[in-house]
Structure 1
Amino acid sequence: MKNKANFSQHFIWLFPLLCLLVPTVSFASETGHMLTLGGIRLEFIFFAFTLLCVALFHHYTMFVSLAGLAAVVASKYIFLDDFSFVHHMMGGDGHEGEWRIMLNLFGLLSGFAILAKHFDESHLPKILPRYLPDDWKGGFVLLVMIFVTSGFLDNIAAAMIGGAIAFVVFKQRVHIGYLAAIVAASNAGGSGSVVGDTTTTLMWIDGVSQLDVLHAYIAAVVSLVIFGVIASKQQDKYQRIVKDGPSSVQVEWKKIGVVGLILLLAVATNYLFDFPALGVWVAILIGSLVVKTPWREINHALPGTVFLLGLVSCASLMPVDELPPASWVSTFGLGFISAIFDNIPLTKLCLEQGGYDWGILAYAVGFGGSMLWFGSSAGVALSSMYPEARSAVNWVRQGWHVPVAYVIGFFIMLAVAGWSPHAPHKNQITTVKEKTYS
Structure 2
Amino acid sequence: MTFPIEFVIFALTLAGVAVFHRRALVVTSAGLIATLAYEGLVTTFPGGEGLAGLTGHFAHEWVILANLFLLLTGFETLSSHFEKSGLPDFAPRILPDNWTAGWVLLGIIFLSSAVIDNIAAAVIGAVVARHVFQGRVSIAYLAAIVGCANAGGAGSVIGDTTTTMMWLGGVSPLHVLGAFLGAGVAFTIMGYFASRAQARFSPPLLHSPPDLKIDWTRLAIVVFALVSLVTANVVVNSVFAGVEESVPVLGLAMWAALLAAALFRQPDWSATWHAAKGALFLVMLVATASLMPLEALPEPTWVTTLGLGFLSAVFDNIPLTALALQQGGYDWAILAFAVGFGGTMTWFGSSAGVAVSNLFPESRSLVQWVRQAWFVPVAYLAGFFVMLAVFGWVVQPGGGG
Is the pair's TM-score, using the shorter chain for normalization, greater than 0.5? Answer: yes
Amino acid corresponding to residue 2 of structure 2 in structure 1 = G
Name stretches of at least 5 consecutive residues in structure 2 with no aligned partner. none
Partner of 2:14: 51
Say which of 246, 250, 263 aligns to 2:230: 263
Partner of 1:6: none
Q: Are residues 1:66 and 2:29 paired?
A: yes
Partner of 1:249: 213
* Contact 2:88–2:132 (CA under 8 A) maintained in structure 1: no
Partner of 2:100: 137
Mapping for residues 17-166 of structure 1, pairs under 5 Å: 39-80=2-43, 83-90=49-56, 97-153=60-116, 155=118, 158-166=121-129
* Contact 1:176–1:395 (CA under 8 A) maintained in structure 2: yes
Task: Supply the distance in 1 between the matched residues of 2:171 and 2:281 (Cα, whole angstroms).
Answer: 23
Task: Supply the distance in 2 between the matched residues of 1:87 and 1:53 (Cα, whole angstroms).
Answer: 28
**SS of structure 2 residue aligned to 1:320:** coil
* Contact 2:18–2:367 (CA under 8 A) maintained in structure 1: no
Say which of 368, 380, 388 aligns to 1:414: 388
Amino acid corresponding to residue 119 of structure 1 in structure 2 = F
**Shift in alpha-carbon separation, 1:397–1:308, aligned structure 2, 3 A:** closer
Deviation at 1:167, TM superposition (A): 4.2
* Contact 1:153–1:196 (CA under 8 A) maintained in structure 2: yes
Q: Are residues 1:352 and 2:337 paired?
A: no
Partner of 2:377: 403
Give CA deviations for 1:114-156 in whole Å, capped at 9, x if unaligned: 4444433433333222111122322211111222344455545
* Contact 1:89–1:99 (CA under 8 A) maintained in structure 2: no
* Contact 1:338–1:369 (CA under 8 A) maintained in structure 2: yes
* Contact 2:165–2:321 (CA under 8 A) maintained in structure 1: no
Say which of 285, 293, 313 aligns to 1:319: 293
Deviation at 1:422, TM superposition (A): 6.1
Amino acid corresponding to residue 214 of structure 2 in structure 1 = Q
Q: Are residues 1:229 and 2:192 paired?
A: yes
* Contact 2:331–2:395 (CA under 8 A) maintained in structure 1: yes
Give CA deviations for 1:200-234 in whole Å, capped at 9, x if unaligned: 57767888776664433221112111221233344
* Contact 1:114–1:294 (CA under 8 A) maintained in structure 2: yes
**SS of structure 1 residue aligned to 2:182:** helix
Give CA deviations for 1:309-363 in whole Å, capped at 9, x if unaligned: 3233223322333543343212212333444x2x42x431441354344443342
**Shift in alpha-carbon separation, 1:397–1:100, aligned structure 2, 3 A:** closer
Name stretches of at least 5 consecutive residues in structure 1 with no aligned partner. 1-37, 428-438
Amino acid corresponding to residue 215 of structure 1 in structure 2 = G
* Contact 1:101–1:205 (CA under 8 A) maintained in structure 2: no
Task: Supply the distance in 1 between the matched residues of 2:400 and 2:79 (Cα, whole angstroms).
Answer: 31
Deviation at 1:46, TM superposition (A): 2.0
**Shift in alpha-carbon separation, 1:201–1:68, aligned structure 2, 3 A:** farther
Partner of 2:279: 305
Partner of 1:3: none
Stretch of structure 1 that moved more, 219-228 or 380-389: 380-389
Partner of 2:239: 272
Task: Supply the distance in 1 between the matched residues of 2:163 and 2:79 (Cα, whole angstroms).
Answer: 17
Deviation at 1:69, TM superposition (A): 2.4
Say which of 152, 163, 182 aligns to 1:219: 182
- Backbone CA RMSD of aligned residues: 3.7
Amino acid corresponding to residue 4 of structure 2 in structure 1 = R
Partner of 1:20: none
**Shift in alpha-carbon separation, 1:403–1:125, aligned structure 2, 3 A:** same
* Contact 2:89–2:128 (CA under 8 A) maintained in structure 1: yes
Partner of 1:19: none
Q: Which structure has the larger Rg?
A: 1
Task: Supply the distance in 2 between the matched residues of 1:306 and 1:312 (Cα, whole angstroms).
Answer: 10
**Shift in alpha-carbon separation, 1:360–1:114, aligned structure 2, 3 A:** farther
**SS of structure 2 residue aligned to 1:332:** helix
